[in-house]
Amino acid sequence: MVFSTPLFLFAYLPVVLLLYYLAPLKWRNFVLLLASLFFYFWGERIYTVIMLASTLVDYTHGMLVDRFKRAGNMKKARMAVASSMIFNLGILFFFKYWDLIASGLQSLGLSFVPVLGIHLPIGISFYTFQTMSYTVDVYRADAKVQKNLITFGTFVTLFPQLIAGPIIKYKELGEQLDQRTCTADRFAAGVLRFTVGLAKKLLLANNIGQLWDICKGSSSLSVAGAWLGVLSFSLQIYFDFSGYSDMAIGLGKMFGFEFSENFRYPYVADSITDFWRRWHISLSTWFREYLYIPLGGNRCSKAKWIRNLFLVWAATGIWHGASWNYLLWGLYYFVWLLAEKLFLGKLVNKLPGLFRRLYVIVILLVGWAIFALEDFGQLGRYLAVMFGLGGAPLFDPLAGYELRNYLAVLIVGILGSTPLAADLFRKLPEGCRTWARPVLLVLGLALCTAYLVAGTYNPFLYFRF
């Protein structure tokens, strides 16, 4: 089930909200647990068992870590943490990477590992990372052990952020699971935030994504067409994923939760380092806290620091999908981030602000081409066209035609990826903002509903991760 569907908006969500607020306070986690399991079961059926297994394993291991720590046996506590991580990484590897490695071995003539054609469970990359962080947090004393299985199950299965994040660490949500305040103001703020995300997804991401499909599928692409295509993909993935995060944060508010922000206008970044402080923040902080710092971070020799950076970005790449282009994408950013930290950052900082942002955008657009095209042959041809190699024309009539067709939505998308609209809204008098919010809310819901009724193009990019 996807948030941007009539089934979710007009059936599932109203029923769950009604049951949740009718239930006594002590039963609300149980209502959310059942609702979340139903939400996941709707799309995954038998694979719900995998999520339940992950929940039970990490609940048990959290208890073991706490017991061993209380007994002063830190060795066994560390073994319990390691056991939890092996289990979670094991199921993630099996479902996500088995077929990739098996097909790679078979291409080398090694057929002893079969390709199983395994279906990737939705959201497995998100909930395995969340449950792993729990046992680590208990071991580090960053979070108290959760002895209530229903409460812990609610944390793992919480449907607003279950299938595409943001990645919520237990230490951020533990106290809210035990006690949270549901107020009318918070609920209203949640509805507004959800509507903003829904509009991003339906009205911007879906429309801009059609331009990317056209450019990607063209057999005679020009340089201008190639850059236009990857620009459209960069906007599509931003509004698709940040829109989903907005919807998740908004839904969390409706149920009394406060989730951490996942995006902070990443396309206004003035360096690649700054971009990764703004894009998919929950994933970046997870890798920093649970991989980069435990490896030694930058408090070690330069060689080990480079190794740590390499491992983090290799892991970031392959986390996104079972295809070699994702690894290449992660290592692409490793090279740029390393260059910025060693020497390039000082040079970039001397440039005027406009040129710093143009530098970032060019690097990002090339990176999105690597990310979007899984087939290396197609990727090589596309990059060649982007840089005018192989006799590609600078411009062609198709690029001009599509630019005219999509110019309005591209302009709205580019402006919408900056804080300009939010800044202008905040400058309005308080009275204007008070009446403008409900008007914009109703208008946004009306436009989104009309799109859902009339439209058929409604992909969600991060489902495959």
Residue range 426-449, pLDDT digits in tens? 888 888 888 888 898 999 999 998
pLDDT, greater one: 1 or 157: 157
Range of 11's domain? 6-180
**If you average pLDDT over every residue of the chain, what do you get?**
91
CA distance 162 to 322: 20
Per the structure block, which two tokens stand in for 342? 């060693």
62 and 174 in a single domain? The answer is yes
Nearest to 454 by CA among 285, 206, 226, 246: 206
The pLDDT assigned to 453 comes to 82
384 and 449 in a single domain? The answer is yes
254 and 286 in a single domain? The answer is yes
Nearest to 145 by CA among 256, 61, 87, 76: 61
190 and 172 in a single domain? The answer is no
Q: Is residue 381 part of a domain?
A: yes
The pLDDT assigned to 455 comes to 67
The pLDDT assigned to 117 comes to 81
CA distance 169 to 50: 20
The pLDDT assigned to 462 comes to 56
Domain's final residue, options 156, 180, 204: 180
* Cα Rg of the chain (Å, integer): 23
Residue 376 CA from chain centroid, whole number:
24
Q: Is residue 43 part of a domain?
A: yes
Domain's final residue, options 138, 155, 180: 180
Side-chain-side CA neighbours of residue 318 (13 Å): 14
160, 175 in Cβ contact below 8 A?
A: no
CA 376-378-383 angle, to 5 degrees, is: 90
343 and 302 in a single domain? The answer is yes
Q: Is residue 46 part of a domain?
A: yes
286, 167 in Cβ contact below 8 A?
A: yes
259, 204 in Cβ contact below 8 A?
A: no
The helix/strand/coil state of 464 is helix
127 and 236 in a single domain? The answer is no
Residue 64's identity, in one-letter code, is L
The pLDDT assigned to 74 comes to 94
345 and 384 in a single domain? The answer is yes
Residues acting as catalytic residues = 320
Residue 60's identity, in one-letter code, is T
Q: Is residue 384 part of a domain?
A: yes
228 and 150 in a single domain? The answer is no
Nearest to 230 by CA among 68, 385, 44: 385
Q: Is residue 1 part of a domain?
A: no
> Is 60 exceeded by the pLDDT of residue 253?
yes
The pLDDT assigned to 110 comes to 76
For residue 309, give the DSSP letter. Answer: H
Nearest to 93 by CA among 113, 65, 79: 113
243 and 302 in a single domain? The answer is yes
If you write DSSP's letter for every residue of 196-258 in order, what string do you get? HHHHIIIIIIHHHHHHHHHHHH-SS--HHHHHHHHHHHHHHHHHHHHHHHHHHHHHHHHTT--
The pLDDT assigned to 222 comes to 92
The pLDDT assigned to 391 comes to 82
CA distance 134 to 402: 48
Domain's final residue, options 146, 180, 214: 180
175 and 224 in a single domain? The answer is no
Q: What is the pLDDT of residues 121-175, one digit of tens each?
A: 888 888 999 898 999 999 999 999 999 999 999 999 999 988 877 899 898 898 8
The pLDDT assigned to 102 comes to 86
Within 10 angstroms of residue 443's Cβ, the number of other Cβ atoms is 12
Number of domains the chain is built from: 2
314 and 377 in a single domain? The answer is yes
Within 10 angstroms of residue 114's Cβ, the number of other Cβ atoms is 11
The pLDDT assigned to 461 comes to 62
Q: Is residue 155 part of a domain?
A: yes
350 and 310 in a single domain? The answer is yes
CA distance 465 to 126: 9
Long-range CB pairs of 296-302 (<8 Å, 24+ gap) are: none
- The pLDDT confidence band at residue 191, using thresholds 50, 70 and 90, is very high
